[in-house]
Chains A and B, each alone.
Chain A
Amino acid sequence: MSFASGPQAASYWKENLRLLFSLLCVWFVVSFGCGILLVDELNQIRMGGFKLGFWFAQQGAIYVFLLLIVVYVYKMNQLDKKYGVYEEDDSGSAPMENATAADDAQLNRGQ
C-alpha cells in the first residue's frame, strides 16, 4: 500500500504542491486582491446594482472558494489514480456499528 518507488513518491508530492500553489494563487487574488487591495479600483466598475470590488468582497470571492475546492477534489482524485494511491471504496471504511473494531486498527506509520 505505497508507491512503487521513491522517485514516484517524490513526483506525486511535486505535482500535488504545484496544484496547491496554483489554487492558492487564485484564492489570494480573488479575496485579498480583488476584495481588499484592489477594491477601490474595481469599485469604479459597476455590475448591475453592485460595485464590482464590493461584490467580490461580499459575494464573488466566496463562490470562487467553493469552485477551488471542487477543482482540488477532482484533480487530486485523478492524481491519486495516476500514481496508484487512490483509496478504493472497500478499504478503510467501517460502518458505525463496527466502530469498536477501530481499536484494533493500526496506524500506518512509516509505511
Chain B
Amino acid sequence: MDVQTLTFLIVGATFLLYIAIAIWARAGSTNDFYVAGGGVHPVANGMATAADWMSAASFISMAGLISFMGYDGTVYLLGWTGGYVLLALCLAPYLRKFGKFTVPDFIGDRYYSQAARTVAVICAIFVCFTYVAGQMRGVGVVFSRFLEVDIVTGVVIGMGVVFFYAVLGGMKGITYTQVAQYCVLIFAYMVPAIFISIMMTGHVLPQAGFGGMLSDGTYLLDKLDGLSVELGFAEYTAGTKSTIDVFFITAALMVGTAGLPHVIVRFFTVPKVRDARKSAGWALLFIALLYTTAPAIATFARVNMIDTINGADGRGTAHAEAPSWISNWEETGLIQWEDKNGDGKMFYSGDERNEMTVDRDIMVLANPEIANLPAWVIALVAAGGVAAALSTSAGLLLVISTSISHDLLKRNLMPRITEKQELLYARSAAAVAVCIAGYLGVNPPGFVAQVVAFAFGLAASSFFPAIIMGIFSKRMNKEGAIAGMLTGILFTAAYIVYFKFIDPAANTAEHWWFGISPEGIGTLGMVINFVVAIAVAKVTREAPGDVQEMVESIRFPQGAGQASAH
C-alpha cells in the first residue's frame, strides 16, 4: 500500500474513534459541558491536559524550530514544561478548591466585580483566538502534505471534525477524546524518534541517543556543532539569542502556561484538591515524554537533512537524484530550491552559498521520510499531527464558548436564561468560534509556533498575576486587579503589535526595550501588572471581609465541593 492510502486509512480511523467517543460522551448538562461533571480520574485528566496542552505547535513545529535554533530552542522546552511547576504549586489546588467553571468566574467572584469578570472574559477570548489560529494552520499543513489537498481545504476539514465533537460533547466529550488523542500523538511521536535514534546512535531511547555517538565515532552534538560552523551557522549548542532575551522568553512562556485558561480549566474537572495537585504531576509526566524527545529529534533531523542535501562529501547532491521527500515537499511549496550557481546540485548553508529554503514546520513531518522509515510510520505521524492540533483546538474553543455563554451571558448579561438555553448558547458560540478560528488559520500572522508564543505573553501579562494575587494576597482588591490586568495586557499587546504589524522593519534587537523581543515581553507585562495592581490596591479600600474569608477557605483542601454554577 502506498503512503497516500495508508494515511487516509490511519487518519480516517482516528477520526472515527474520536467521533465514536464524542457520541458516547455527549454532554447532558452545563456541568458536563463545562467541566465534564467534575469526575475525571487524575491520570485521565493528566493525559487530557497533556493533549490539550501539546498543540500543533508542540507536535509539528517545535522540534523543527529547535532544529533551526539549536540552544535557543531551549526557550520552548523550558518554557512549556516549567509552567506546570507553577501551575501545580501555585494555582491548580486553590482554583479547584474554589470550585467554579471558568477563570473569569474566579476573577469575577474573587474581585467581587462584573467589570473584573468582563475584563477577564475579553482577555480569555483574545488569548484563545490567538492560540487557536495556530492550531488550524497546523491542521492545514498536515492535510496539504499527506492528503494532498490545499491548505484551505485542510483547514475546513479540521474545522468540521472539531466542530462535531466540541459542540456535541463539550468538556466531557473533549476530555475523553483527548485521552485517545494523547495516545495517538505520543505513539506517533515516539515511534519515528526511536527508529531514528537506533539507526543513528544505537540507543533505543532518543533521550540517550541525543548524547550518543555516531557510527564514525564522533558524538552527535559535536558533529552538529562542527557542521553548523562549517556551513556558516552559529554553533548548535550555543545559539544566537542574548541571555536576557532567552531569560524573558522562557519566563513569559512558563508564566503564560500557568495563566492559559484552557489549561487551568482542566483542573476544575477532577474530584478533589489533592487530585488537582496529582493531576498536574501526571500532565507534566506525559508532556515531558514528548518534550525530552523533541530536542533529540531536532538534532537527528538536522544532521540527516544536511547530509541528504549537501551529500556525504559536503558538496551538494544533484537535484535530479534528490530523494522523493524533497520533491514531495517541493509540491507543497514548503521546500524550495534555487540553483544559484547553476551546477544542478542542491546546497544548504547559512551564508551566500545557500540554495535551499526549508520551512521549519515540516521537520517532524518529513523526518520519517528523511530517515527512510516505512510508509505506515509516515501515515502515523500525519495522524499524530492532526490529533495534536484537534485536541488543542477543541480545548480552546470550549473556553471561548464557555466564556461567552457562561461568563458573559449567564453571569453578566442574561442571568435568567435556563440551563438548556445556556447550553444552546454554549454550542452556538463554539460553532461561531470554529469559523473565526478557521479564517485565522487560512490567513495566519506568522509561523505556527510563533503565533502561539504570543498567546503566552498575553496570558502571562493578564491572568497569572490576577490569579496569584487573588490566592496569596487577601487584601488585593478589585481596583488593583482590574488596573493590573488592563495595563499588563495592553502594554504587551501594544509592544507585540508595534513590532509585528506596525513597524516590522524595526523588529531587531537594537530597537527592542532592554533587548527583549516581542516573544518575551509578556514577562515585563506581568511585572507591570503586579506593580500597578499593588500600587492601586495600596491607595484604595482593601477587599471586603467576606471575600477575605473566601480566600482563607480556598487555602486548604478539605470541603471542596463539586464544581458548581451556584
**Binary interface encoding of chain A residues 1-31 relative to chain B, with 1 for a CB under 8 A from any of its CBs, else 0:** 1110000010011001000100110010001
Question: In the complex, what residues of A have CB within 8 A of residue B549's CB?
Answer: 109-110
Whether A110 touches B546, Cβ cut-off 8 Å, given contacts A47-B211, A65-B288, A83-B556, is yes
CB <8 Å contact, A27 and B85: yes
- Looking at the assembled complex, report how far the CB atom of A85 sits from the nearest CB atom of chain B, in whole angstroms: 4
Q: How far is the CA of A16 from the CA of B562 in the complex (A)?
A: 24
B37 at the interface (CB under 8 A from A): yes
- Looking at the assembled complex, report how far the CB atom of B45 sits from the nearest CB atom of chain A, in whole angstroms: 13
- Give A20-56 interface residues, CB cut-off 8 Å to B: 20, 23-24, 27, 31-32, 35-37, 39, 43, 47-51, 54-55
A80 interface neighbour in B38, B237, B274, B552, Cβ under 8 Å:
B274
B213 at the interface (CB under 8 A from A): yes
CB <8 Å contact, A31 and B250: yes
Question: In the complex, what residues of B have CB within 8 A of residue A77's CB?
Answer: 274
- Give B524-566 interface residues, CB cut-off 8 Å to A: 546, 549-550, 552-553, 555-566
Interface range, B side = 35 or more
Q: How many residues of A contact B (CB 8 A)?
A: 65
Q: How far is the CA of A23 from the CA of B85 in the complex (A)?
A: 9
CB <8 Å contact, A13 and B555: yes
Question: In the complex, what residues of B have CB within 8 A of residue A55's CB?
Answer: 211
Question: In the complex, what residues of B have CB within 8 A of residue A2's CB?
Answer: 553, 556, 558-559
Nearest B-chain residue to A108, judged by Cβ: B559
CB <8 Å contact, B32 and A99: yes
Chain B contact residues: helix, strand, loop or mixed: helix
Question: In the complex, what residues of A have CB within 8 A of residue B86's CB?
Answer: 24, 27
CB <8 Å contact, B89 and A108: no
CB <8 Å contact, A107 and B100: yes
Question: In the complex, what residues of A have CB within 8 A of residue B552's CB?
Answer: 9, 110
B447 at the interface (CB under 8 A from A): no
B246 at the interface (CB under 8 A from A): yes
CB <8 Å contact, A101 and B562: yes
Q: How far is the CA of A32 from the CA of B36 in the complex (A)?
A: 36
Q: How far is the CA of A39 from the CA of B154 in the complex (A)?
A: 42
CB <8 Å contact, B78 and A59: no
A72 interface neighbour in B88, B238, B560, B564, Cβ under 8 Å:
B88
Q: How far is the CA of A12 from the CA of B557 in the complex (A)?
A: 11
**Binary interface encoding of chain A residues 47-88 relative to chain B, with 1 for a CB under 8 A from any of its CBs, else 0:** 111110011011101110110111011001100100111110
Q: How far is the CA of A69 from the CA of B566 in the complex (A)?
A: 32
Q: How far is the CA of A12 from the CA of B246 in the complex (A)?
A: 37
B284 at the interface (CB under 8 A from A): yes
B444 at the interface (CB under 8 A from A): no
Q: How far is the CA of A49 from the CA of B517 in the complex (A)?
A: 32
B230 at the interface (CB under 8 A from A): no
CB <8 Å contact, B272 and A93: yes
- Looking at the assembled complex, report how far the CB atom of A13 sits from the nearest CB atom of chain B, in whole angstroms: 6
Q: How far is the CA of A16 from the CA of B552 in the complex (A)?
A: 13
Whether A69 touches B284, Cβ cut-off 8 Å, given contacts A49-B212, A54-B237, A61-B78, is yes
Q: How far is the CA of A110 from the CA of B277 in the complex (A)?
A: 22
B90 at the interface (CB under 8 A from A): yes
CB <8 Å contact, B559 and A102: no
B164 at the interface (CB under 8 A from A): no
Chain A contact residues: helix, strand, loop or mixed: helix
Q: How far is the CA of A23 from the CA of B31 in the complex (A)?
A: 35
CB <8 Å contact, A99 and B31: yes
B278 at the interface (CB under 8 A from A): yes
Nearest A-chain residue to B298, judged by Cβ: A58
CB <8 Å contact, B213 and A49: yes
Q: How far is the CA of A102 from the CA of B565 in the complex (A)?
A: 9
Whether A66 touches B288, Cβ cut-off 8 Å, given contacts A31-B250, A73-B278, A108-B561, is yes
CB <8 Å contact, A49 and B562: no
Stretch binding the partner chain, chosen from B122-130, B216-224, B344-352? B216-224
B207 interface neighbour in A43, A59, A66, A102, Cβ under 8 Å:
A59
CB <8 Å contact, A37 and B281: no
B558 interface neighbour in A62, A86, A101, Cβ under 8 Å:
A86
CB <8 Å contact, A108 and B560: yes
B81 interface neighbour in A32, A65, A98, Cβ under 8 Å:
A65
A36 interface neighbour in B99, B211, B246, Cβ under 8 Å:
B246
- Give B279-334 interface residues, CB cut-off 8 Å to A: 280-281, 284-285, 288, 291-292, 295
CB <8 Å contact, A103 and B31: yes
B243 at the interface (CB under 8 A from A): yes
Q: How far is the CA of A3 from the CA of B31 in the complex (A)?
A: 30
CB <8 Å contact, A99 and B38: yes
CB <8 Å contact, A24 and B271: no
CB <8 Å contact, B561 and A85: no
CB <8 Å contact, A57 and B71: yes
Q: How far is the CA of A98 from the CA of B29 in the complex (A)?
A: 11
B159 at the interface (CB under 8 A from A): no
B39 at the interface (CB under 8 A from A): yes
Question: In the complex, what residues of A have CB within 8 A of residue B562's CB?
Answer: 92, 94, 101-102, 105
Nearest B-chain residue to A46, judged by Cβ: B219
A73 interface neighbour in B29, B38, B247, B281, Cβ under 8 Å:
B281
Nearest B-chain residue to A80, judged by Cβ: B557
CB <8 Å contact, A106 and B280: no
CB <8 Å contact, B84 and A65: yes
B89 interface neighbour in A24, A36, A50, A98, Cβ under 8 Å:
A24
Whether A65 touches B284, Cβ cut-off 8 Å, given contacts A50-B211, A58-B74, A106-B566, is yes
A-B contact pairs, 7 of them (CB 8 A): A37-B243, A49-B219, A63-B288, A63-B292, A92-B560, A102-B562, A102-B564
Q: Spell out B's residues near A (CB within 8 Å).
A: 28-29, 31-32, 36-39, 66, 71, 73-74, 77-78, 81-82, 84-86, 88-90, 93, 98-100, 172, 207, 210-213, 219-222, 237-238, 243, 246-247, 250-251, 254, 271-274, 277-278, 280-281, 284-285, 288, 291-292, 295, 546, 549-550, 552-553, 555-566
Closest 6 CB pairs of A and B: A99-B37, A49-B219, A49-B211, A102-B562, A93-B271, A69-B281
Inter-chain pairs besides A2-B559, A62-B291, 14 sampled, C-beta below 8 Å: A23-B89, A32-B250, A49-B221, A65-B82, A66-B284, A68-B89, A72-B281, A80-B556, A83-B556, A99-B31, A99-B37, A99-B38, A103-B565, A107-B561
